[in-house]
Amino acid sequence: MGGITDNRDSLQAEARTFDAIVREKGDFNPFADRGWETLRRRFEAMIPAEAAAFGLLDVGCGSGQSRRVYRAAAAKYVGLDLSEASVRRARELDSRQHWLRGDALALPLADASFGVVAFSSVLHHVPDRQAALREAVRVLRPGGWVFAFDPNLLHPAMAMFRHPRSPFYLKAGVSPDEQPLLPSVLRRELAGAGLIDIRQRCQSDIPYRDVAPRLIRACLGIYNRADWMMEKTGLARWFGTFVVTVGRKPAMA
């Protein structure tokens, strides 16, 4: 029971962090518009259009900003987040969509009910990623897809400032369990959950709107420009800010 209790405690700490952010700022929108557009293009390049036609579950939808990544592809959209304040704000911003407060480790949804499960920059917050991925597989239709984007530990700034083991780690603006992930770790975990046809693309040109602490925020323009250059030179294919990972549920057991 200790592991289950630890997971619940960790998730509740994550929820409190994002509740506080939304109450203080009125929203949670980390990326500039161009960043969301980059992620939209990557989603549409990596996920077959027919998959999203069977509905998309957006795990870690926050206050609803991530929906713009999937809006054009998914006729049926459900956003789910652990943060009550975030879900409430999402409903205020777009009452036409279906927003749920829920836990990635125990999705309150039926088996085989979606064509795509998207983890919108959320797996790197989850204490038991394998459990979350198994839940995603459960609610996917046979042949459905998982799509995830997470900070890439191979990116120099992510490794230096956002990994807890770095001597330069900056805790401000980081939630309790948050840390960048290696692409190889994500590939292995998707495979461990039973997914096949796993593909990845490290991705830059995802500019931030705001970051913490203040010292890093002052350099944000320089960082965003360097991130754009990394994408243009091709280095982002290995060292991009985010790693995008997809995998397919087998069509038959």
Per-residue pLDDT tens digits for 75-121: 899 999 999 999 999 999 999 999 999 999 999 999 999 999 999 99
Domain assignment present for residue 70? The answer is yes
- Give the count of beta carbons closer than 10 Å to the beta carbon of residue 141: 17
Name 12's Cβ contacts closer than 8 Å, sequence gap at least 6: none
Q: Which tens digits make up the pLDDT trace of 113-129?
A: 999 999 999 999 998 99
Q: Among 53, 72, 83, 79, which Cα is nearest to 175's?
A: 83
pLDDT single digits (tens) 39-52:
999 999 999 999 99
- Tell me whether residue 102 is in a domain: yes
- More confident: 191 or 253: 191
H/E segment holding residue 242 = strand 242-248
The position carrying tokens 């198994």 is: 134
Per-residue pLDDT reduced to its tens digit, 183-237: 999 999 999 999 999 999 999 999 999 887 776 778 889 999 999 999 999 999 9
CATH number at residue 41: 3.40.50.150
Residue 10 has pLDDT above 70, yes or no: yes
**pLDDT, greater one: 253 or 113:** 113
- Distant-in-sequence, close-in-space partners of 220: CB < 8 Å, separation ≥ 6: 208, 210, 211
Beta bridge partners of 138: none
Domain holding 15, by residue range, is 2-248
The answer to the question of residue 253 being in a domain is: no
Q: Pairing relation of β-strands 98-101 and 140-151? A: unpaired
Q: Specify if 133 maps to a domain.
A: yes
Can you give the pLDDT at residue 106? 95
pLDDT per residue as tens digits for the range 157-168: 999 988 989 998
Contacts of 109 (CB under 8 A, 6+ apart): 57, 78, 102, 139
With a cut of 70, say whether residue 5 has pLDDT above it. Answer: no
Q: Domain total for the chain?
A: 1
pLDDT confidence of residue 75:
81
Q: Using the structure block, give the residue that is written with the tokens 């952010």.
A: 21
3-state secondary structure of 30: coil
210 lies in some domain: yes
pLDDT confidence of residue 6: 60
**Based on the number of CB atoms within 10 Å of its own CB, is 51 exposed (0-12), middle (13-18) or buried (19 or more)?**
buried
Cα distances (angstroms) measured from residue 149 to each of 24, 49, 140, 206, 216: 26, 18, 18, 11, 22
CA separation for the pair 193, 55 (Å, rounded): 21
Identify the burial level of 167 via C-beta atoms within 10 angstroms of its C-beta, where 0-12 means exposed, 13-18 middle and 19 or more buried: exposed
Name the nearest CA neighbour of 124 among 153, 154, 150, 157.
150
Whether residue 3 has pLDDT greater than 70: no
Task: Find the mean pLDDT for residues 45-60.
Answer: 95
